[in-house]
Chains A and B, each alone.
Chain A
Amino acid sequence: MGIAIVTQQSPERNREAVLTVGIMNNHGVRVRALVVEDNAADACLLENVLGRIPDAQFETTHVERLDDALASLAVASYDAVLLDLGLPDSQGSDTVTRLRQSQPGVPVVVLTGLDDETVGISAVQLGAQDYLLKGSFTPSALGRSIRYAIERKRAELAVMAQLKEAAIIEERNRIAGEIHDILAQDFVGILLQLEAARELNGKNPEEVARCIQLAEAVARSGLAEARRSVWALCPPELDAEGLVGAVQSFLTRVAVGNPTAIGFSLRGEPYALPNDKALGLLRICQEAVVNALRHAQASKIRVQITYQPSGVDLCVHDNGRGFDPNAHVGGKGFGLISMRERAERMGARIEISGEPGQGTRLTVATRTSPGAREGRTS
């Protein structure tokens, strides 16, 4: 048996040690599986099939509710979750979404009792690794599905780790570039004016005054730029003004001295978002607007935030020169990696469309998990 089963640990706990190879003994690979199934007969049947999988030894834990599953996953590590979608406390694809939001690192195989492929397919689209129709699988099919789920998850995590690293490097380069292009040049400008003032001192008082005035102006704009950079790196706590306030204040800051017209519109009634989502949306918004200003040569940028009961959408649209998004996939350029990575991390869908000469449109759609909607409006 050549397949190595990997053990999944919580990625939050230790990103470096995400994967360790499972133990192989005389009975084959040992797999810790969490069975989430509220129907006792189905659960019994499943455990029976698991027990007959060749070359593998399953240690199963059985829970009946999603909340119990999440609690169990929070304290113990499992190699895979076998997930029924119709549970007492969660129904349908929501079950997958909630599990994935809470435990993005664990491989999931969905078991659907409905003789309906579309439920399984949508579960996979939402992040499950595979689906099986209850009662229609053999032990070897189930074993293969679980192994593939674990392998796929491992590959996905490895790609995400790479993307994250690329995003960090890109962010660092961006910061270095900003220091180089803006702050260092401002200092050079100040230096030149002060040197000139020193040289002209006593000869041309008017010219000296002008040099000092210019140096002051450059120092002031450099300071504003430094504040802007620091603010972009770690914005003040979002709670104070909420996402809408933070986006508006960011747009006001970038609009100063910029010929591009930046518009903002709000749809729906704002409500409090979990901080990671709000921060993620703010960052993506910042990145997209700065890209449009720096690279798109746009005369207009429109930012729209839409609050819907199901989630919050962000749209950044410019009328600039546009670009071919496919030309940048997996590559560098315009912070696309970091935006995609952020969206992925917060479980949001991101779409960037643009054609050369046609402007660029970026949309991010987040989905609010039930129960997270309470709280003050901002």
Chain B
Amino acid sequence: MSDPESIRVLVADDHPVVREGLSALINRQPDMKVVAEAGDGSEAIEQFSLYRPDVALIDLRMRGMDGLHAIRVICRRFPEARLVVLTTFEDNEDVYRALKGGAKGYVVKGASREELLECIRTVRAGKSHIAPGVAARLAEPLSRPGLTEREL
């Protein structure tokens, strides 16, 4: 458990059972450990600043401050942050905004646990975990007007 090489993870999701389920899943892996949990965006920022996890899983949509906002704030404060977006629907403009805002990967909720775990390991290793189609779209300008970085 106290393996210094284990990946320290932050889990931010406003659904308690989802959060707990994700944490339990991660904690069952020999090379990972959940060091902090958060129930909304502002908690995510707080916990991230406090624990400086290796990887943070952040749900896009949460009551109170949402995940997109939190991702932008964290990436601005900690440019080296390795964030993974959790999303309910893949075809979501906010996923692109989050990736443009600095997140390194995304996982659709309900994807297999192997994919989630692989994503955490890939992002921890400093690589991106983004499906090819999504990556291609990321190279294009945003199709719909959203908040620019400046508007935050």
Q: Judging by beta carbons under 8 Å apart, are A188 and B113 in contact?
A: no
Chain B residue at smallest Cβ distance from A215 = B17
Cβ of A338 < 8 Å from any Cβ of B? Answer: no
CA distance A189 to B109 in the complex (A): 9
Residues in A whose Cβ lies below 8 Å from that of B15: 185-186, 188-189
Q: How far is the CB of A218 from chain B (nearest CB, A)?
A: 5
Residues in A whose Cβ lies below 8 Å from that of B110: 187-188, 191
Residues B17-36 near A (CB distance < 8 A): 17-18, 20-22, 24-25, 28
- With known contacts A185-B15, A218-B17, A196–B24 Cβ distance under 8 A: yes
Residues in A whose Cβ lies below 8 Å from that of B17: 186, 189, 192-193, 214, 217-218
Chain B residue at smallest Cβ distance from A182 = B15
Q: How far is the CB of A367 from chain B (nearest CB, A)?
A: 39
Cβ of B51 < 8 Å from any Cβ of A? Answer: no
Cβ of A199 < 8 Å from any Cβ of B? Answer: yes
Residues in B whose Cβ lies below 8 Å from that of A224: none
Q: Specify which of B20, B88, B109, B113 is in contact with A195 (CB 8 Å cutoff).
A: B113
Chain A residue at smallest Cβ distance from B92 = A180
Cβ of B61 < 8 Å from any Cβ of A? Answer: yes
- With known contacts A180-B89, A181-B61, A184-B88, A189–B18 Cβ distance under 8 A: yes
CA distance A369 to B148 in the complex (A): 53
Q: Judging by beta carbons under 8 Å apart, are A188 and B109 in contact?
A: yes
CA distance A307 to B24 in the complex (A): 54
CA distance A195 to B26 in the complex (A): 12
Number of A residues whose C-beta is below 8 Å from B? 17
Residues in A whose Cβ lies below 8 Å from that of B109: 184-185, 188
Residues in B whose Cβ lies below 8 Å from that of A180: 61, 88-89
Interface mask (A180-223 → B, CB under 8 Å = 1, otherwise 0): 11001111110111011001000000000000001001100000
Interface mask (A140-181 → B, CB under 8 Å = 1, otherwise 0): 000000000000000000000000000000000000000011
Q: Judging by beta carbons under 8 Å apart, are A199 and B18 in contact?
A: no
CA distance A218 to B20 in the complex (A): 12
CA distance A285 to B89 in the complex (A): 32
Residues B81-111 near A (CB distance < 8 A): 88-89, 109-110
Chain B residue at smallest Cβ distance from A189 = B17
CA distance A184 to B109 in the complex (A): 9
CA distance A217 to B16 in the complex (A): 12
CA distance A188 to B63 in the complex (A): 17
Residues in B whose Cβ lies below 8 Å from that of A191: 21, 110
- With known contacts A181-B61, A195-B113, A214-B17, A188–B25 Cβ distance under 8 A: no
CA distance A180 to B91 in the complex (A): 13
Residues in B whose Cβ lies below 8 Å from that of A193: 17, 21
Q: How far is the CB of A351 from chain B (nearest CB, A)?
A: 28
Chain A residue at smallest Cβ distance from B113 = A195
CA distance A196 to B15 in the complex (A): 17
Q: How far is the CB of A280 from chain B (nearest CB, A)?
A: 29
Q: How far is the CB of A111 from chain B (nearest CB, A)?
A: 52
Query: Which of A187, A188, A189 has the most C-beta atoms of chain B within 10 angstroms of its own C-beta?
Result: A188
Q: Judging by beta carbons under 8 Å apart, are A192 and B22 in contact?
A: yes
CA distance A192 to B24 in the complex (A): 9
Q: Judging by beta carbons under 8 Å apart, are A185 and B88 in contact?
A: yes
Chain B residue at smallest Cβ distance from A221 = B17
Residues in B whose Cβ lies below 8 Å from that of A186: 15, 17
Top 10 A-B pairs, shortest CB-CB distance: A192-B21, A189-B17, A185-B15, A188-B109, A189-B18, A184-B88, A218-B17, A188-B18, A188-B110, A191-B110
Residues of chain B at the chain A interface (Cβ within 8 Å): 15, 17-18, 20-22, 24-25, 28, 61, 63, 88-89, 109-110, 113
Cross-chain pairs A/B with CB under 8 angstroms, 15 sampled: A180-B61, A181-B63, A185-B18, A185-B88, A188-B15, A188-B88, A188-B110, A189-B17, A189-B21, A191-B110, A192-B21, A196-B24, A214-B21, A217-B17, A218-B17
With contacts A192-B22, A196-B24 known, what are 9 further pairs, Cβ within 8 A?
A: A180-B61, A180-B88, A189-B21, A191-B110, A192-B25, A193-B21, A199-B28, A214-B17, A218-B17
